[in-house]
Amino acid sequence: MEVVGSSEPGQGSPKVAKGFTNPASDAHRYTILFLICMVTFGSYFSYDVPGATVTQLLDARPENKLHMTALEYNLMYSLYAWPNVIIVFVGGYFIDLLGIAFSGVALMSLVTIGQLIMTAGAFVHSIQLLFLGRLIFASGAELLIVCQGSMIFKWFVGKEMALAFGFSLTLARLGSILCFAFLPSVAENHGIPAAFGLGSIFCVISFVVLGIYLVLDSRADRILQRNPVQDSYEEPIQPQGLQEAFKLSPSFWLCVSTLMTNYGCLYSFFAISIDFMHHVLGTLLPIPGCTIGHG
């Protein structure tokens, strides 16, 4: 079975066009990489919308019809985190089983629908809708990152895979930077619904990008005679059982512990950082968002 990243067609492969239209060319592969990276741009941007608008969400003035308590605000992040303790572990099995195309569309649908529900909740001042949308959004967002990793592996296995993963994280964090840099001012000047609505727009854009990727990926399957079910793997994937987790090396669990500490300390602070800097340190509203975004 030929891997997309290989520079020469396999034995008996049909002749393919040269240049950009050749799925095995560097120009085509890097275009695919950009599309893959943009698939999660909307979810990364939307994930940080509550954090970027925390000052407005916690505003207790009577004119703020969407006033949340600190407990309700932090519950939005708990609703995102707790389901993914199980969903990501189990969902990876189904991504291997069902394939990238079906899984990608299903997960991107959950992300987009969840963010749209949150936007509707912001417009009608319903905290319950915000919670529901956040839960649906969470059900797809983290697994979408796993699915994105499978896309990158399919196109870059054995060739520039580390570079591809690094570029994907760069664009993903760009979504967080833009969210924290601009949404505090958007929420302050145009209201909380506008901020959530902007997140919905980026999710829809990511959905369109996913569709473009799947069309080009299907074309590459046809031209390079790949099996779209097994993607670029030589042998069929046999999902492993839970017992395999106990056979992982101590270095793996050390890395997991490091990540848990990082997420527990750093990202918990990000959730309240703008409000903290605004009220405790007395910074102007746009400044905390720019500071956290660049952090």
Residue-wise pLDDT tens digits, 8-26: 444 444 455 566 778 878 8
Q: What is the pTM of this model?
A: 0.77
- Decide: helix, strand or coil at residue 40: coil
Q: What is the DSSP letter of 125?
A: T
Residue 267: band (very low, low, confident or very high) from pLDDT cuts 50, 70, 90: low
pLDDT averaged over the chain? 79
So what's the pLDDT on residue 290? 46
So what's the pLDDT on residue 98? 86
Task: Report in angstroms the alpha-carbon separations of 83 from 107, 266, 285.
Answer: 14, 20, 32
Lowest mean pLDDT among 119-133, 250-264, 272-286: 272-286
Residues 6+ apart with CB under 8 A from 179: 44, 45, 46, 48, 49, 51, 52, 199, 293
Beta strand ranges found along the chain (DSSP E): none
Residues 6+ apart with CB under 8 A from 237: 96, 230
For the stretch 139-166, pLDDT in tens is: 999 999 999 999 999 888 878 888 898 8
So what's the pLDDT on residue 82? 84
Q: From the DSSP assignment, how many helices (H) and strands (E) are in the chain?
A: 12, 0
Task: Report in angstroms the alpha-carbon separations of 119 from 32, 71, 77, 122, 252.
Answer: 30, 20, 16, 5, 39
Percent of the chain at pLDDT > 70 equals 73
Highest mean pLDDT: which of 52-61, 115-124, 224-233, 243-252? Answer: 115-124
The residue that leads in pLDDT, 192 or 292, is 192
User: Do 16 and 167 touch, CB atoms closer than 8 A?
Assistant: no
CA distance 163 to 51: 30
CA distance 289 to 280: 15
Lowest mean pLDDT among 139-143, 162-166, 225-229, 251-255: 225-229
For the stretch 89-117, pLDDT in tens is: 788 888 888 889 999 999 999 999 999 99
Mean per-residue pLDDT for 63-82?
A: 84
Instruction: Please spell the DSSP secondary structure of 269-295, one letter per residue.
Output: HHHHHHHHHHHTS---THHHHHHHHH-
User: Do 202 and 45 touch, CB atoms closer than 8 A?
Assistant: yes
CA distance 155 to 250: 30
The residue that leads in pLDDT, 183 or 294, is 183
